[in-house]
């Protein structure tokens, strides 16, 4: 029910509402209702959306990437996007389900110094650091090989002979060395991962010897 | 009508178990009414405010099993304020005082307190089964009371409740003497569990057939449990994350191989995709698989898993399976009857990975499909028409396009024709949820063809009162109608007020009905309770009849206005 000011739309009843804020453009800008419908009397009740913003029960750490905000969150017809207003109760999914999905959804970005792009991994699918590091090795196979026998959290670049040290940004915004805290605690606090070139990391923690236990 | 002595009739009635049939039997004549009511053991009350505990107890002294539902369905989606009602307490108190030997209690969307649970646990010696679905208001202390006091407890099933978790000790409250458990489901609890107590409980419950764990139960405990309970039929895993090269994982694999009876699998509240191969041996016999809480499982691992499940009848998954994955389902699961595809991004950022293509593939491959819940990115009329042709057996058809007024993705037309095809083809359709761009036309079709329709959910649809009227006039078996954000007003609401007495309830929110319209309805129909629910702080109960009503919920009742309505509910 877009409130775009299409010609012939009969929204005079609801002029008191501020379209910019309540505009529920359910589709990409420009995609409006079919003309047949707009011509019909549509004094649709938008009151429900006016100031009722859905309780965000903690959005998934998958930040909406460009274009992800297309649907209920966007403004319409050439207007700048308003403050995000979600429709209450839409999509019709129970809050317990929404919460549960969010909790098992721990996607974080992984950056490797020198790699042209970042990757995303879901920390929830790994049981310990060892698991995670193995997978990171797979993600960046072209540039990283891990020294399996040493069970350390250092990764090696077989080609260039460079070493990488895994670091992560925690909830407080600090850059930490991966492996110090128990795995579960790590998942809770990790916001993003960066595989830092050893040369740079050496400055931070020259004697970093990491306990990377096989269990969590 | 008394051709037979009462005992004979009673014996005959024993074979009549469906609620509808027993209700019909009781209407035949006075003596049948009397015999039926004394022999009735199971009662279903779809709206706890339609009748009072006292009248229930008076009519059915032999009551053993009670099902109660409280809040309206839209409460699931935060449309009903928290303290609206649906309290269990008066029911338990009345039942406890009576001589009713309650054995089974099933509740949905009710507010349940710890005190109620404790009273329940202490009042009924033979209490066997407690099932709570989407309830709230209690803590694990209440569960502890049930565990401690119900000596013959067979079933404790907690589904999607909001429970305040006081951590873990409730499991230890099952006495050593408790060996009767058949079904235990605590998947919705958030807190830590005493793992040792859990293992011991499983060991002393030889009849345990259904076990659903919560996230706090790690994979190694699952392995130990399965070793001791290979007879389990319905399993919900807890956290399913482990290193696939570990000893524990190997043991888990052998444990699964011994579990020849598992037919139903759920959980995976945390999942490591590479650990799914342990499950392959049981996949062959699975009839129900629920992966709808596992966003970490997608792509190849997911399809590989599905390919092992040839006998699947019910599948619940997330949309990250994609259209291609649904194609795999279609070619593998020929016995599929029920499919639910949930959004993996429920905050609607619009990244749903399934479209009309996946649904068409399913309909072509799974011709036994009769129940669908499908959250998707887009839909087309052509697809729905094809689906209707391929699957004429739908009983439940719920389609949710994430953008609620999206038109046909190809033609940009409303989806009236598509849904029209569904109702025309599926003569047994009992439940329907609509979405997408829809005009009054779709309601014309529904009124014309959906003869068996009992429940209809409408959002952001229609053009005028005519839409609602088509439905009210046409669907003779309609019991529940819930409408949000549609341009239906007083004319539709008031045209046939008697209709609502044939229905359980009507919900209308953000529509065009006014206070005056609701008042008129309430005046004309004293057998209805017409509630105006007002949950925004700024709006006061203005006496202006022209004011549009934000939320109206009406239901038929035999006991007048409820006494426990909170301040923000105005019963006209």
Q: Tell me: the pLDDT tens digits for B149-166?
A: 999 999 999 999 999 988
How many A×B Cβ pairs under 8 Å? 175
> Which residues face B211 on adjacent strands?
B184, B235
DSSP state of A54: P
Question: Of residues A162 and A168, which shows the higher confidence score?
Answer: A168
Give the start-end residues of each E strand in chain A: 107-112, 119-122, 145-146, 155-157, 162-169, 175-177, 192-197
Q: What was the pLDDT predicted at B19?
A: 93
Q: Which residue has the tokens 């319209």?
A: B517
For residue B1, name the pLDDT band (cuts at 50, 70, 90).
Answer: low
- Quickly state the pLDDT bin for A169 (edges 50, 70, 90): very high
| Interacting residues of A107 by C-beta distance below 8 A, sequence separation 6+ | A60, A61, A62, A120, A121, A122, A123
> Which positions ≥6 away from B465 have C-beta within 8 Å?
B487, B488, B489, B491, B492
User: CA nearest A43 in B: which residue?
Assistant: B487
Percent of chain B at pLDDT > 90 equals 87
* Among chain A residues, CA nearest to B346: A98
Sign of CA dihedral A26, A32, A37, A39: positive
- 3-state DSSP call for residue B25? helix
Identity of the residue in B77, B293, B548 whose CB atom sits nearest the CB atom of A89: B77
Residue B395 has pLDDT above 80, yes or no: yes
Residue B305 has pLDDT above 80, yes or no: yes
Least CA distance to B269: which residue of chain A? Answer: A104
Nearest to A47 among B215, B295, B550 (CB): B550
Query: Dihedral of CA B430/B434/B440/B441: which sign?
Result: negative
Query: How far is residue B243's CA from residue B252's CA, in Å, rounded to a whole number?
Result: 12
3-state secondary structure of A195: strand
- Of the pLDDT bands very low, low, confident and very high (cuts 50, 70, 90), residue A39 is very low
Question: Which is higher by pLDDT, B433 or B546?
Answer: B433
- B356 vs A92, B248, B275, B441, CA distance in Å? 19, 42, 31, 21
Backbone angles phi, psi at B528, to 5 degrees: -110, 150
Contact list in A for residue B270 (CB cut-off 8 A) is 104, 124-125
**Site from B75, B276, B298, B346 to mutate, A interface, most A CB atoms within 10 angstroms:** B346
Rg from Cα positions in chain B: 25
> What does the pLDDT look like over B207-236, one tens digit per residue?
999 999 999 999 999 999 999 999 999 999
Which tokens sit at B104? 């089974």
DSSP symbol at B429: -
**Cβ within 8 Å, pair A127-B243:** yes
More confident residue, B486 or A196: B486
Computed over every residue of chain A, the mean pLDDT equals: 61
Which candidate from A27, A89, A125 shows the least CB-CB separation from B79? A89
State residue B242's pLDDT score.
Answer: 87
List residues bridging with A163 in a β-sheet.
A156
Is B146 within 8 Å of B113 (Cβ atoms)?
A: no
Q: What is the pLDDT of residue B380?
A: 97
| Percentage of the residues of chain A whose pLDDT score is greater than 70 | 43
The neighbour count for residue B96, using CB atoms within 10 Å, is: 15
Within 8 A of A60 by CB-CB distance, chain B residues are: 345, 347
Binary contact (B241, A68; C-beta < 8 A): no
* Whole-number pLDDT of residue A216: 37
A contacts of B413 (beta carbons < 8 Å): 34
Over residues B6-12, the mean pLDDT reads: 90
Q: Is the pLDDT reported for residue B327 higher than 80?
A: yes
- The pLDDT score that the predictor gives to residue A120 is 83
Contact yes or no for B160 and A97 at CB 8 A: yes
| Residue B44 to chain A, least CA–CA distance (Å) | 24
How much is the pLDDT for B280? 95
Closest by CA to B434, choosing from B482, B474, B369, B489, is B482
* The two structure tokens encoding residue B375: 């959250």
| pLDDT for B489 | 96
* pTM for this model (two decimals): 0.82
Chain A contact set for B134 (CB, 8 A): 94, 96
User: Mind listing the pLDDT tens digit for each residue in B229-267?
Assistant: 999 999 999 999 888 888 999 999 999 999 999 999 999
Taking residues A188-198, what's their average pLDDT?
87
Of B441, B376, B450, whose CA–CA distance to B415 is shortest? B441
pLDDT confidence bin for B292, thresholds 50/70/90: very high
Burial class (CB in 10 A: 0-12, 13-18, 19+), A31: middle
- B362 contacts B329 by C-beta, under 8 angstroms: yes
Of the candidates A34, A55, A101, the beta carbon closest to that of B346 is on A101
Question: Strands B371-376 and B528-533: what pairing?
Answer: unpaired
Mean predicted confidence (pLDDT) in A92-103: 87
Rounded average pLDDT over B557-564: 95
- B-chain CB neighbours of A48 within 8 Å are 484-485, 509-510, 550
- Nearest-CB residue to B406 (from A26, A60, A64): A26
Please check the confidence at residue A7 and state whether its pLDDT lies above 90: no
């Amino acid at each position: 029910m877009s409130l775009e000011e299409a010609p012939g739309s009969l929204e005079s009843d609801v002029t008191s509402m501020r379209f910019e804020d309540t505009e529920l453009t359910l589709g990409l800008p420009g995609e409006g209702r079919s003309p047949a419908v707009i011509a019909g009397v549509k004094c649709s009740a938008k009151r429900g959306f006016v100031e009722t913003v859905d309780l965000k029960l903690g959005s998934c750490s998958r930040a909406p990437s460009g274009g992800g905000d297309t649907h209920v969150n966007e403004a319409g017809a050439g207007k700048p996007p308003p403050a995000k207003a979600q429709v209450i109760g839409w999509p019709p999914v129970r809050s317990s389900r929404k919460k549960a999905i969010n909790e098992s959804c721990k996607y974080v970005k992984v950056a490797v110094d020198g790699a042209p792009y970042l990757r995303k991994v879901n920390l929830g699918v790994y049981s310990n650091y060892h698991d995670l590091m193995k997978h990171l090795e797979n993600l960046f196979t072209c540039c990283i090989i891990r020294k399996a026998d040493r069970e350390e959290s250092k990764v090696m670049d077989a080609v260039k002979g460079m070493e990488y040290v895994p670091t992560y940004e925690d909830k407080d915004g600090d850059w930490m060395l991966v492996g110090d805290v128990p795995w579960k605690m790590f998942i809770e606090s990790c916001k993003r991962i960066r595989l830092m070139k050893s040369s740079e990391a050496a400055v931070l923690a020259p004697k970093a010897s990491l306990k990377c236990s096989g269990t969590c | 009508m008394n051709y037979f002595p009462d005992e004979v009739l009673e014996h005959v009635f024993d074979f009549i178990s469906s609620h509808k049939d027993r209700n019909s039997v009781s209407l035949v004549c006075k003596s049948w009414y009397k015999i039926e009511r004394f022999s009735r053991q199971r009662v279903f009350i779809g709206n706890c405010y339609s009748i009072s505990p006292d009248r229930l107890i008076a009519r059915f002294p032999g009551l053993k099993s009670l099902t109660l539902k409280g809040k309206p369905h839209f409460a699931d989606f935060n449309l009903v304020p928290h303290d609206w009602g649906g309290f269990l307490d008066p029911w338990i108190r009345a039942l406890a005082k009576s001589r009713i030997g309650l054995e089974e209690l099933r509740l949905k969307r009710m507010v349940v307190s710890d005190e109620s649970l404790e009273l329940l646990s202490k009042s009924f010696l033979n209490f066997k089964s407690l099932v709570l679905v989407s309830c709230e208001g209690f803590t694990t202390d209440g569960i502890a009371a049930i565990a401690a006091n119900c000596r013959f407890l067979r079933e404790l099933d907690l589904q999607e409740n909001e429970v305040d978790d006081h951590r873990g000790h409730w499991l230890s409250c099952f006495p050593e003497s408790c060996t009767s458990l058949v079904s235990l489901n605590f998947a919705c609890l958030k807190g830590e569990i005493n793992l040792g107590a859990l293992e011991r409980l499983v060991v002393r419950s030889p009849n345990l057939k259904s076990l659903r764990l919560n996230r706090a139960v790690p994979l190694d405990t699952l392995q130990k449990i399965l070793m001791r309970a290979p007879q389990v039929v319905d399993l919900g895993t807890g956290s399913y994350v482990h290193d696939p090269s570990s000893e524990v994982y190997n043991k888990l694999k052998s444990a699964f191989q011994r579990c020849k009876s598992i037919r139903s699998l759920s959980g995976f509240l945390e999942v490591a995709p590479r650990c799914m191969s342990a499950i392959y041996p049981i996949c062959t016999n699975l009839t129900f698989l629920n992966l709808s809480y596992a966003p970490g499982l997608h792509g190849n691992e997911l399809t590989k898993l599905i390919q092992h499940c040839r006998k699947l009848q019910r599948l619940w998954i997330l949309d990250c399976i994609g259209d291609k994955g649904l194609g795999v389902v279609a070619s593998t699961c020929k016995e599929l009857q029920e499919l639910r595809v949930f959004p993996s991004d429920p905050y609607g950022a619009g990244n749903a990975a399934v479209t009309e293509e996946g649904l068409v593939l399913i309909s072509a491959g799974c011709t036994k499909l009769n129940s669908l819940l499908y959250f998707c990115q887009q839909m087309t009329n052509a697809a729905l028409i094809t689906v209707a042709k391929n699957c004429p057996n739908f009983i439940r058809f719920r389609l949710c396009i994430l953008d609620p007024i999206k038109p046909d993705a190809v033609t940009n037309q409303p989806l009236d024709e598509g849904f029209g095809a569904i109702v025309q083809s599926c003569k047994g359709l009992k439940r329907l949820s609509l979405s997408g761009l829809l005009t009054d036309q779709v309601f014309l079709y529904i009124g014309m063809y959906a003869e068996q329709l009992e429940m209809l959910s409408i959002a952001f649809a229609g053009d005028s009162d005519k839409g609602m009227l088509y439905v009210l006039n046409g669907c003779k078996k309609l019991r529940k109608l819930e409408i949000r954000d549609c341009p239906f007003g007083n004319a539709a609401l008031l045209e046939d007020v008697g209709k609502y007495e044939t229905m359980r309830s009507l919900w209308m929110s953000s529509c065009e009905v006014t206070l005056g319209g609701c008042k008129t309805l309430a005046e004309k129909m004293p057998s209805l309770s017409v509630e105006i629910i007002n949950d925004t702080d700024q709006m006061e109960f203005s006496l202006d009849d022209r004011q549009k009503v934000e939320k109206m919920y009406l239901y038929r009742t035999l006991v007048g206005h409820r006494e426990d309505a909170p301040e923000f509910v105005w019963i006209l």
